[in-house]
Amino acid sequence: MIRINKKITAIVVVCVLIALANTYAQVKGHDDAPPKNLKVLPPNMSGDDLHKIMRTYALSLGVHCNFCHAAQQGSDKPKMDFASDEKPEKDIARGMIRMVDSINHMIDGIGNNKLEHITCVSCHNGTTKPIVSVDSLVKKDHQ
Ligand code: HEC
Ligand code: HEC
């Protein structure tokens, strides 16, 4: 029993280390200062939660951070200026966040809490151009 516990402890420790290394790799090079230009998301949101949301946006659209965020002016290394509103895509994304919020409010009123909420990936499906025509659906065998 004790031996198994030791094994489990060792496995947990390794998992935690991997998780920490991952997090470090993902936030490395980012400015960890609190966000200063949130106009739609809760302004007091933690940097950690914000990064999780941002990674979800990037995955949902199949892009990298620089699709919405501008690079810092005058730096030779590609460092991002996340607070900058220079890129129009960032403001489009703000509009999309508001839209998704109001769609979900409407869904609450329609579905007696039985319908799933929607997120960016519901429409974007991993690309910047959402599917808008049934013609672009993958043909299924049984059709
Ligand atoms: C689809 C567009 C989009 C993508 C992709 C995206 N972001 Fe964002 N990001 C935004 C928007 C919009 C805001 C501002 C939200 C608001 O105004 O409430 C923001 C805000 C931020 C902020 C806060 C800046 C400040 O000081 O106010 C950080 C940090 C950030 N993003 C990091 C990232 C990182 C890291 C990635 C890549 C993993 C990323 N973003 C990818 C749209 C995007
Ligand atoms: C109800 C469907 C729908 C949802 C949900 C949705 N979008 Fe969109 N989005 C669209 C459509 C439609 C376009 C326009 C595509 C085009 O230009 O052809 C678009 C375009 C965009 C663009 C501009 C892309 C470009 O090429 O310039 C960004 C950025 C974006 N969406 C971000 C988001 C984010 C972030 C979310 C989640 C908060 C989101 N969208 C959720 C439908 C949606």
From first to last of its 143 residues, what are the pLDDT tens digits of the chain?
A: 556 677 766 666 655 555 655 555 444 445 467 899 999 999 999 999 999 999 999 999 999 999 999 999 876 777 899 999 999 999 999 999 999 999 999 998 887 777 889 999 999 999 999 988 888 777 766 65
Which residues neighbour 60 within 8 Å (Cβ) at sequence distance 6 or greater?
Answer: 119, 120, 121, 124, 126
- Gap between the Cα atoms of 92 and 99, Å rounded: 10
Ligand in nearest proximity to the CA of 63 = 1
Same domain, 2 and 45: no
| Model pLDDT, residue 13 | 61
Could you tell me the distance, in angstroms and rounded to a whole number, from the CA of residue 115 to the centre of ligand 1? 28
pTM exceeds 0.85 for this model = no
Residues 45 and 2 grouped into a single domain:
no
Same domain for 94 and 73? Answer: yes
Q: Is residue 138 a part of any domain in this protein? A: no
80 lines ligand 2 (CB under 6 A): no
Predicted pLDDT of residue 60: 98
Domain encompassing residue 125: 33-132
